[in-house]
Amino acid sequence: MSASIQKLKKMSTFALRGLKRSFLSRSFSFTQYRLIRNTIKDILKCKQSDATVNATGWVKTLQVHKNVTFIKVNDGSSLSSLQVIIPPELNNNEITFGSSVSVEGKMIESPGQGQDYELLAEKISVCGTCNPEEFPFQSRNKIPVEYVRDYLHLRPRTNFFSSLLRLRNATTNAIHKYFQENDFLFIHTPILTSNDCEGGGEVFSVEPHNKDLIPELSDSEEENKTPKLFFRNPANLTVSGQLHLEIITGAISRCYNFGPTFRADMSVDRTHLAEFYMVEAEMAFTKSLEDVLEVIESLVKFTIRELQNTCDDDLQFYYKYVAPKDQQKTVQTALDKAFTRIPYTDAVKILEKKNKKFEFKIRWGEDLKREHERYLVKYNNDIPVFVTDFPAAIKPFYARDNDDTQTVSSVDLLVPEVGELVGGTMREERYDVLKNKLQQHELLENLNWYLDLRKFGSVPHGGFGLGFERMLQFILGINNIRDTIPFPRSSKHCKL
């Protein structure tokens, strides 16, 4: 019995609490189990001297002195690392920058600055060695993001990118939290689809590489000249889940999706990807476009607040080392100020006065270029701008016609530097009007089911799509969109 007590005393006080709860409840949940091996984030919260812990992670810094060695260990759970004191008898040459280690020891109060407590090692083992001379990232060096981008398989080991991953995770959680708290139902819309939504044609076609997998046509299919395709009709990677969400709003008045979308966009600038994530929402029984604008604005502001509350260390890291000088102020302005609303016609009048400055001259009826979008935001003192009521010719077929017959009930949200962050419309719910539009675009045969939605209990409805990576660019001040996603895919770039 005494041996068991001694063994328990050596366990982390955190682990003991978890075990006690599990025994009392006669259950062993995942949350309780993870406390047996604490993350660095958990350990850093420990303010108790002599608490015995087991820390695992990668060596971020290494300082070797005559009588002692200091290392900082990080497992990716937080921006901060745990300082470990290694007595000379435990040190060995395999403990290097980049190596992975497991350390057991006691927490002690730290006399140095930067941490309240540090770990005095009693036992240390190297899980995986690392030759620091061959490792492409060096300790304490500020590494250019362009250089890091060439090592996609290793860049999570940099502070820049591990912070990004935590912020990306926190942003994802914030978006889900917003919709869940406002009674939106999360829908998994398909990645494989037979439509291209907006009819832009920038789709990736999908067929099996092994053509032998395609089933043979039946006699009736051959008579009807059915194409010999895996799905019997052309299939694409989705460019948007909007049309599928509209199906859902025939029964569920509020819904959203959050998933990957794909566009064969040849642009290689800093704001375009071929694979990216979209947040799309649909709302039935909307009274006007203003209902859509209110949800967009509250979603953006809610997400910013959540990041400030849950991930501020990583946010401050970006504002200090990555973002432009006034990025935090810019984001705070977006949080504090009401977004501006301006009709497209008025926006063009503002832009026409500065046409000499622009590479692309603007006239009514033309879509806004990136330089126009950025100018409008600057003109509005860096407060995000809703541009509404675009000409019908430059918006998708599903946008609801306004009474002037020239414009549609539509919106683009423009934010500093990034430009367009969100695009949305009221959807055309009138059967005859939508049928005429589908005929004009030669889409009636393929989208007859979409027209069908207007026959059975159609209601006014609207929605929007938000570019997730552009949202990260805006909040964090990231210059290139390829640095907002773990594995960027763009024209001529598809590593790993």
pLDDT digits (tens, 9 = 90+) for 240-288: 999 999 999 999 999 999 999 999 988 777 888 999 999 999 999 999 9
Instruction: Say what angle helices 159-181 and 289-310 make with each other, to 10 degrees.
Output: 130
With 80 as the cut, is the pLDDT of residue 489 above it?
yes
Q: How confident is the model at residue 356 (pLDDT cuts 50, 70, 90)?
A: very high
Phi, psi of 151 (to 5 degrees): -125, 65
Band of pLDDT at residue 68, cut at 50, 70 and 90: very high
Give the per-residue pLDDT at 30.
36
Of residues 3 and 80, the one with the higher pLDDT is 80
Nearest Cα residue to 473 out of 80, 145, 143: 145
Q: Given a cut of 80, is residue 495 above it in pLDDT?
A: yes
pLDDT band at 14 (very low <50, low <70, confident <90, very high): very low
Rounded distance, CA 21 to CA 267, Å? 55
Are the CB atoms for 454 and 430 separated by under 8 Å? yes
Which tokens sit at 375? 């100018």
Domains of the chain: residue spans and CATH: 37-128 (2.40.50.140), 159-203+239-483 (3.30.930.10)
- pLDDT tens by residue, 183-223: 999 999 999 998 876 655 589 989 888 888 888 888 888 88
Mean pLDDT of the chain: 90
Q: What is the predicted pLDDT for the residue at 260?
A: 97
Radius of gyration of the chain (CA): 28
User: What is the rounded CA–CA span in Å between residue 281 and residue 464?
Assistant: 6
pTM of the model: 0.90
How far, in Å, CA of 35 to CA of 39, rounded?
8
Q: Which of the four pLDDT bands, split at 50, 70 and 90, describes residue 3?
A: very low
Kindly state the tokens that stand for 125: 């083992």
pLDDT at 338 over 50: yes
